[in-house]
Structure 1
Amino acid sequence: MGETIYSVVRSFSQYKSIIDRLTNDDITPNRGQCANLFNGSLNEYKDLLSSDKCEKGMKFLSFLKENVHSYKIADGCQYIYHWLYTDVLSKNESTHNIFTFYNNLMEAYDEYDVDTCKNHIEHIKKIIISKLDKLMELYKYFNQISSQIESCSCAKKCATLYNDYLKICHEENDQDFCNELENFKTSYENRVISLVCDDSLPKTLPSVRGNSFIVALTSCIVILSISFISFMLYKFTYLGSMLHARIIKKKIWNYIDKEPHEILYNSNMSNISSENSLYNISYNSTEYS
């Protein structure tokens, strides 16, 4: 299915490991900068955002900017958006509020030349944070699947979550969300094919296209088949020859039935024409007599 606005979910563990690696020694240099922001542009958020979280976010974005050839900046910006939602706001804010918070935070970081996500704000705005969170959870269990037997429970959890989210896909018709589920389906099936588990683990997952695609495809096949069979019957079988003969016979009878009417019509027209001629002769004779 290719790239979607939720593509970061496929590599979120990579960005999580970066932000988890940041220690106090890494973030201390940003301490004074965040304190200044809390006294200025981030004053309204000082009760939501602790100094440690503010500094960690700033350091994470600085790291991405310094390693632009090793990491996708767009994915890193999506990850920090989700990180603010889960780790800073504990999923307590609405989508609108979390985006406003994120946007204001990025603008505040800009004061210290940490403008890593400036070019990705409009892209981030399209993301529905609750769906990004669901996909993150899906891949969290997926990344725990290995070739070990204990991975079966993680695989089963993936299958359960996938089927739950598939209902949301069909109900809300979010194309990016549905396509990302289809991407996950492919990854899941490739991963579990060699996994040894009991029969309760599905080795395949239903497609997001569902039964509607199958019904449409079946209908097309049926229509084409009927058309082809009808042509073959008409062209190459006794039934076709008989139908063809009947059509020709009907045309002949129509012609025969039509012929007397045309003869009668032509005769009448001839009589009328003759009468007109006689009238004209009589008229002309009277006029010059």
Structure 2
Amino acid sequence: MSEELYNSVPLFDKYEGIKNKCNVEIDDEKIDLCDPSIFGDVCNDKHFYRKCLIADKYLTYIEDEEGSRNIKEACKYFSYWAYKEMIMDKKYSYSVSTLHENINKISNFNICKKYVENISTETFLNIDNLYKLYQNFKEILNGDEPFNCDKAKKCVEFYKTFEGTCYLDSDDPFCIGLKKFREAYNKTMKSAQKCEEYKILQELQKRPEKSANTIATAAITAISFASIMTYKFTPLGSWVRHRLSGNKNMINKLEKEFKASQNSSKIQDMEYRVPYNSS
């Protein structure tokens, strides 16, 4: 399901607008009507319960507009927003799905059940960074002047912070999201009559290959060190000296064998660690 979450990010801005409208329309008198049988101690936290009412109004709005909106994308935004505003600080032991279930009980309806998604901290940080990229891109286009170069610079520099965390051949959802953002950015900025140095986002680099020789050298170093320590400082020293007699080139032979094997060994680095940018 996470792949669908990443695919929905370009449209988050539209649903954030709906959420903001719901925030303005909240009747604060309803905060005192919190049902303890549903929310328990949350009823004593008016700030948190107000967010529950915003979520309830947002889901109600989606249900009323179901025929004219993409419900899946609207629900994916709900998952992101609920985690960010009500779950990330871990004040209460909610997951997105359990929080969604309780909020649905406020107005007694059931929407987004198929699409709501529990989010890990890592996924949230990736989604949040990707969303910030699209927000920065929007600022370039919707500023006081079209194609604002200062804002284009900000967007390009932010994109560059992810260099080295994703690669061209990656199937990681976040990296695929970065690739799609780059394509959308370059297609739009192509028509800009200025900001030449910021019109193109470079594609992700190919994954660097680790040399098997690096691994072999490390192994040989460890073996050599262990041999020296055993030879000099253990009761087995005399036995080792006897066994090595007439075979002083054993380590050199071992090194040659490791080097000979490097052509048949391939090491691929599969780690993705995406930095979180708070602004």
Give the letter aligned to residue 110 of structure 1. Answer: N
Give the letter aligned to residue 53 of structure 1. Answer: K
From 195, 202, 205, give the equivalent of 1:206.
202
Where do residues 99-110 of structure 1 align in structure 2 (5 Å cutoff)?
A: 100-110=94-104
Q: How far does the alpha carbon of each residue in 1:88-137 deviate from its partner, in whole angstroms, 9 at most, with x for none?
A: 45x5349xx88x4322221112323332121123x444781111111111
Where do residues 180-259 of structure 1 align in structure 2 (5 Å cutoff)?
A: 180-201=177-198, 203-208=199-204, 210-212=205-207
Q: How far does the alpha carbon of each residue in 1:14-69 deviate from its partner, in whole angstroms, 9 at most, with x for none?
A: 10111111255x43399279601xx1232244548523211111000111111112
| 2:159 corresponding residue in structure 1 | 162
Give the letter aligned to residue 55 of structure 1. Answer: L
Give the gaps of 5 or more residues in structure 2: 209-279
Which of structure 1's runs of 4+ aligned residues deviate more than 3 A? 44-49, 85-89, 91-94, 123-127, 196-200
Q: Say if 2:80 and 2:124, in contact at 8 Å, map to a contact too.
A: yes
Aligned counterparts of 2:16 and 2:102: Cα–Cα separation in 1: 23
Q: Say if 1:141 and 1:154, in contact at 8 Å, map to a contact too.
A: yes
Distance 1:132 1:110, change over 3 A: same
Aligned counterparts of 1:52 and 1:200: Cα–Cα separation in 2: 46
| 1:139 corresponding residue in structure 2 | 134
| 1:84 corresponding residue in structure 2 | 82
- Match of 1:144, SS? helix
Q: Say if 1:61 and 1:116, in contact at 8 Å, map to a contact too.
A: yes
Percentage identity across paired residues of the two chains: 22
Give the letter aligned to residue 57 of structure 1. Answer: A
Distance 1:45 1:115, change over 3 A: same
2:13 corresponds to 1:13: yes
Q: How far does the alpha carbon of each residue in 1:178-200 deviate from its partner, in whole angstroms, 9 at most, with x for none?
A: 11111101110012112244454
> Which has a greater percent of helix?
1
| 2:246 corresponding residue in structure 1 | none
Q: Say if 1:12 and 1:79, in contact at 8 Å, map to a contact too.
A: yes
Using the size of structure 1 for normalisation, the TM-score is 0.59
Distance 1:109 1:19, change over 3 A: same
2:60 corresponds to 1:62: yes
Give the gaps of 5 or more residues in structure 1: 214-289
Aligned counterparts of 1:139 and 1:31: Cα–Cα separation in 2: 35
Aligned counterparts of 2:207 and 2:86: Cα–Cα separation in 1: 41
Q: How far does the alpha carbon of each residue in 1:250-276 deviate from its partner, in whole angstroms, 9 at most, with x for none?
A: xxxxxxxxxxxxxxxxxxxxxxxxxxx
Q: Say if 1:30 and 1:59, in contact at 8 Å, map to a contact too.
A: no
